[in-house]
Structure 1
Amino acid sequence: MAEGIYVGALLVATPLLDDPNFRRSVVLILEHDEDRGTLGVVLNRPSDISVTQVLPSWDSLVTGPSVLFQGGPVQTDSALALAAVPSGEEPLGWRRLHSPTPAVARLGTVDLDAPPEILAGEITQMRIFAGYAGWSAGQLEAEIRQGAWYLVDAEPGDTFHSDPESLWRAVLRRQRNELAFVATFPDDPNMN
């Protein structure tokens, strides 16, 4: 389990968090500044909207499922893309996430206004998110203290998990402490 909030960490919603925007969500932290706040994207909310419908020129570069992901409740009319590169190179149109963890060392944001052709041979995986999650300075820390989030380390496969809807359980299950048991928490405790 991670100590403090940092770029590349995962926020995993606790079973107590029932806000529909974040229920059973896994959020990758993209920016964190104690004075300005925190920004991240929800990794496990694929939508029904295909990338072809919104950004057709990027569709061939997207890692399946080829849909927009609901990145969070803020600015849902805008898109943000994450992509992985195969090496230490920084291709044009891609900006590295500055993280202390090797799990996201090859991960960065994509300039969706750039021509997709310049990144076509440069990236290995990519997902596009509609909107993002944001917290003002101190807000996320308070939510963690209140028991809304677990803060854990990311692993390389989390961002482009092949079955996004199972990511919440998968991240919890691999923890080496009591959090592994939370993965078995029923969707509806009243049905238990």
Structure 2
Amino acid sequence: MSSSVNRSGSESGVNLSRQLLLAMPGKVSGNLANTVIYLCEHTDQGALGLVINRPTDLTVKDLLRRIDLDLSLEIGPIQDAPVHFGGPVQTDRGFVLHAPAGGYSSSIQLGEVALTTSRDVLQDVAQGKGPEQLLVTLGYAGWGAGQLESEISQNAWLNVDATNDILFNTSCENMYQVALAQLGIDPLMLTGAAGHA
């Protein structure tokens, strides 16, 4: 990922960075079916996002131990938070989406949140002094130039504004419905079929 987000947008001229993508039923299959994705970067080169509603069996505490970080007794409830399947690309690499905090070595600001890929943020978490709100993923979802735009034109994704409440305070089971509600859509009304007038 580049160190700065290109604000010029994609080749379609629409920049969906910092938006949520909601997989449309019947249109997105495989690893990304039924997902909510926080889109970190969207440029004419492609797009990169993190699946935020697919928890794994691994907890933050488990992850910290696996990477040999000693836990402080004061780490708090974040230790039991799940590590998420962030997407099918580089599933051995960690991404931490968090409320802005500290000057971590590989962080980029994404509006009201930051994305860090360096170990130093997890070192702070292990010591009980990391960001108060965070979401940890392994892997990411990626699209080549024009690929996401093509999928959107085929009704594969809806997009909606991301909020910190959805990112950090909404359960994985409810994320899709809460995000859809921002658009005034009932999930029961969704269909994978496209209509044309």
Q: Is 1:29 the counterpart of 2:39 in the alignment?
A: yes
Identity of aligned residues (%): 29
Q: Is 1:84 the counterpart of 2:92 in the alignment?
A: no
The amino acid of 1:32's aligned partner reads: H
Q: TM-score, normalised by structure 2?
A: 0.74
Could you tell me which residue of structure 2 aligns to residue 67 of structure 1? 82
Post-superposition Cα deviations, 1:24-77, rounded to whole Å, max 9, x if no partner, equal 11101111111x210000110011112222223387377475221000011111
Local SS of the residue matching 1:144: helix
Structure 2 alignment gaps of length 5 or more: 1-12, 192-197
Deviation of 1:186 after TM superposition, in Å, equals 8.3
Give the RMSD, CA atoms, in angstroms: 2.8
Match among 152, 157, 161 for residue 153 of structure 1: 161
The amino acid of 1:31's aligned partner reads: E
Q: TM-score, normalised by structure 1?
A: 0.76
Could you tell me which residue of structure 2 aligns to residue 43 of structure 1? 52
Q: Is 1:97 the counterpart of 2:101 in the alignment?
A: no
Equivalent residue pairs, number: 170
- Equivalent runs, 1:167-178 vs 2, <5 Å: 167-176=175-184
Quick check: which one's helix share is greater? 2
Deviation of 1:83 after TM superposition, in Å, equals 1.0
Could you tell me which residue of structure 2 aligns to residue 117 of structure 1? 124
Could you tell me which residue of structure 2 aligns to residue 102 of structure 1? none
Match among 171, 174, 184 for residue 166 of structure 1: 174
> Does the 8 A contact of 1:169 with 1:184 survive in 2?
no
Seen in structure 2, the aligned counterparts of structure 1 residues 6 and 186 have a Cα distance that, compared at 3 Å, is: closer
Local SS of the residue matching 1:160: helix
> Does the 8 A contact of 2:60 with 2:78 survive in 1?
no
